[in-house]
Structure 1
Amino acid sequence: MFAPWLTDPLATLGTPERFIAFPENQFAQSALQRINQVESRNRGHGLLTFLHGPAGAGKSHLVRTSLRRILDQAPRSRLLLASAVDLAETLEAADELGTWSDVMATLVGHAVVVCEDVHELPPLGGLQERLSTLWDQLLEDGRQLVVTSRMPAAEIDGLSLRLANRLHGGLTAGIRLPGEEGRNRLIEHFGKLAGVAFDQDATDLAGERLTGSPREIRGAIESLARRIGRRQDQVTAAQLELLWQQPSEVRLLSFEQIVTAVAIEFGLPSTELTSRSRQQALIVPRQVAMSLTRELTGQSLERIGAFYGRTHTTVAHGCERLRDQLKQSPTLRQQVLSLKRRLQRMPQAECG
């Protein structure tokens, strides 16, 4: 059809890691528990849950965890997760091709629809009007709609009155950046994922220094882990302090080096991987390129998304989808591993 998430609604869901609860996200977690009631469908009484918080605060992670919980309980549930821009552009394309009714029927046929990053919609205009129509139909049909944004509705520049009213009429839950307790939990969790253990003093020190979002904390811990290497003993506060005092000599591959190598590997023009094209043949190569860019440069999802002409949510979904595919396809897994090794041997430069 128009996108893999429309023909395969779980294509972008992936397998989320364990959700780490802390005081700043507990209300949002409670707010999303009501979407577990996927069987309730009362015409004209759909539920809208609006989740907002800063970049990297964990909105997407929380949503995917909630959807996965639904699937564990009811495997046949019809769920859909996509960005607001992708949904609106799909409706626009359907309108132009004369398939509006079919696409709308497909979208409204889902018990739960998650519309991410509504703040990234172009100000006013046709895309917002098309998305408004979808929201109205979902709620009229008694569906559950979850909308995410980096900011409250009142702060979204150029948001139409119709969309704003819908958001104000739903249940709003904000996620704030983690406090000291939350940061310490995240540091311990991300350290285990990276193969590094911190003693309590080191955890406390890192919690004082790393005051950003969970995504930024994870990036910092992974960077530390690369410098520390895997070790049996726990990292102490003194060792951590010494690491922070030493300048990092790591130089990064550029985005251009990665996208060019992936394009050559798959026999495609490199410009296609950064274009807005939704051709099926580009999906896996683009996911490989975005995933390797994330892994080999450590740059933010926002910066990677800007390079590939995608939202940070689309980048995250693409990387997760690729991880699932690699588990099922030894051929693709070997191809990506070989490509990664070649990239790591390349002369490196400043990140693009």
Structure 2
Amino acid sequence: MNSLRRQLLTELWEQAVTPLRKRLSAEDFDTWIRPLRPVRLDGSTVEVEVPNRMFATWIEEHFLEELSAAWLASAGRRVRFRFTEPSAEPLQGELFGPEVLGPSPQPSLFDAPANQHGGLRRRSAPGGLIPSYRFANFVVGANNQFARAAAIAVSEKPGCLYNPFLVFGGIGLGKTHLVNAIGNAIVQRDGDTRVLFITADAFTNRLIDAISRNRVQDFKQRMRRVDVLILDDVQCLAGRERTQEEFFHLFNALHDEGKQIVLTCDTFPNDIDGLEERLCNRFSWGLVADIKPPDLETRIAIVERKAREEGIKLPVDVATLIATEIDSNVRDLEAALTRLSAWASIHRREITIDLAREVLGSGRSQKPSRPTAEQVEARVVSHFGLKPGDLKARRRTKKLAEARHVAMYLMRNYAGMSFPAIGEYLGGRDHSTVIHGCQAVERRCREDQTYRGMIATLARLLERG
């Protein structure tokens, strides 16, 4: 790239990311955005240099939507981002914001579903399985020993022992890893077995697409051809009556034919508002296993294994510190390790116990508590320029309705409130109104990149407190 084009790219980049200084904390901007260096603009692809692979993963999972929206707002065009290490080939796969490039070709039934929280499609096997998720690298502890043993049994005799097999537990505890391990073990044993891993959101989106194309019957037939169905995040079916109706009949058809059904959920199904009783009953036909937060020894093992997989030289005392400070879930443990590794790489420092204390201590809390309804209300009121109490009032302007929908969505997905509780808090509204509001936000997020970026920003502000 000649100097003039490089200068132009640098100017475009600065124009795009400068507004993020106001939307992100100074620490987040300096740690994660400032080190990014644009090196090439090729059509609709911006190549960006990052310190290492883990840094790229963190950007994809936490800041990609903001970057995509910022570039669109600044340059007026949609682009995808491809990340490279210094003097290296582009990292495996392409990182790009959800729908940044507009509609993509309709995937086949066995294509990997896109990551629902960002643009990176994990490196996937046929059927959407994540090949790196196997029993061999699933760290076992007292918190998950029973669930893992049952999962292995299911993989050895699919459709025979526990059908359905449902795993539930909090966010980031390894449910997705475990059920992918089932699918990978089955495929490894018999490559002709048709295994499909799909999230509940992706299932819903494919159904919506089939309805819009008048191809529902084709959708049903293709889904019923699978031998093993793995549905992730069952709780996302809540409130979606048409999706639940279709999944109910799919469940019955697969179960009657002795085909294996594997499910994950973030809580016990009967405790999910908006999930039909007939589905809850069927989910209990087989085996239900829970995964609890890991104990200290298991957390240390998780950190050490992740460090080995990523080629990070991690002293034992640092692994112990991370595991001691963070007792919430596996995802938070890995996030802390990613942050520490990125910090050490950027500042060219060796990972030591002192550096770990400095980085983990200076960062925002790794044990975030869920925001309260009051905090969500305050944040939404501030963003939309409303007055306190407006969200609970009976007035209905377009601006108020949009703000209420956003508040409902955030209270449901980030404050963890039930639909009735949200309705009661927002002025005694019916729970069906809340469900409709949440669905309206989800639909708009799929269609509007800028709107999705706004929701992501509000969520991040709530997580920071």
TM-score by length of 2: 0.49
Identify which of structures 1 and 2 has the higher relative contact order when contacts are C-alpha pairs closer than 8 Å and 6+ apart. Answer: 1
Aligned to 1:30, which of 130, 143, 149?
Answer: 149
The reply on whether 1:6 has 2:125 as its aligned counterpart is no
Which residues of structure 2 form unaligned runs of 5+?
1-103, 113-125, 365-443, 458-463
The reply on whether 1:59 has 2:200 as its aligned counterpart is no
Structure 1 vs Structure 2: percent identity of aligned residues? 23
Larger mean CA deviation between 228-237 and 193-202 belongs to 228-237
Output the amino acid matched with 1:275.
Answer: R
Q: Could you give the per-residue CA deviations for residues 55-75 of structure 1, whole angstroms, max 9, x where no partner exists?
A: 111111111122112121111
User: Which residue does 1:344 correspond to in 2?
Assistant: none
SS at match of 1:6: coil
Larger mean CA deviation between 119-128 and 46-55 belongs to 119-128
Aligned to 1:217, which of 333, 340, 349?
Answer: 333
Answer whether contact 1:121 1:127 (CA < 8 A) is retained.
yes
Change beyond 3 A, Cα 1:227–1:4 = same
Which residues of structure 1 form unaligned runs of 5+?
249-272, 278-285, 287-302, 309-350
**Cα separation, 2, equivalents of 1:167 and 1:305:** 36
The reply on whether 1:127 has 2:243 as its aligned counterpart is yes
Output the amino acid matched with 2:259.
Answer: R
Kindly tell me the number of residue pairs found equivalent between the two proteins. Answer: 259
Larger mean CA deviation between 80-89 and 143-152 belongs to 80-89
Aligned to 1:21, which of 137, 140, 144?
Answer: 140
Question: Deviation at 1:2?
Answer: 8.9
Higher-helix-fraction structure: 1
Answer whether contact 2:232 2:263 (CA < 8 A) is retained.
yes
Q: Where do 1:73-84 residues align within 5 Å?
A: 73-84=189-200
User: Which residue does 1:181 correspond to in 2?
Assistant: 297
Output the amino acid matched with 2:140.
Answer: A
Change beyond 3 A, Cα 1:234–1:65 = farther
Question: Deviation at 1:21?
Answer: 2.2
User: Which residue does 1:110 correspond to in 2?
Assistant: 226
Answer whether contact 2:322 2:333 (CA < 8 A) is retained.
no
Question: Deviation at 1:24?
Answer: 1.3
User: Which residue does 2:163 correspond to in 1?
Assistant: 47
User: Which residue does 1:168 correspond to in 2?
Assistant: 284
Output the amino acid matched with 2:198.
Answer: A
User: Which residue does 1:339 correspond to in 2?
Assistant: none
**Cα separation, 1, equivalents of 2:352 and 2:257:** 56
User: Which residue does 1:275 correspond to in 2?
Assistant: 446
**Cα separation, 1, equivalents of 2:232 and 2:341:** 31
**Cα separation, 2, equivalents of 1:125 and 1:228:** 49
**Cα separation, 2, equivalents of 1:155 and 1:305:** 30
Mark the structure with the bigger radius of gyration. 2
Answer whether contact 1:111 1:144 (CA < 8 A) is retained.
yes
Aligned to 2:206, which of 74, 90, 94?
Answer: 90
Output the amino acid matched with 2:132.
Answer: P
Output the amino acid matched with 2:446.
Answer: S
Question: Deviation at 1:167?
Answer: 1.3
TM-score by length of 1: 0.63
**Cα separation, 1, equivalents of 2:456 and 2:108:** 22
Output the amino acid matched with 2:154.
Answer: I
Change beyond 3 A, Cα 1:234–1:109 = same
Q: Over aligned residue pairs, what C-alpha RMSD do you find?
A: 3.6
SS at match of 1:80: strand
Question: Deviation at 1:236?
Answer: 4.0
Q: Could you give the per-residue CA deviations for residues 163-206 of structure 1, whole angstroms, max 9, x where no partner exists?
A: 11011222001111111011101111222344433333222222
Larger mean CA deviation between 194-203 and 22-31 belongs to 194-203
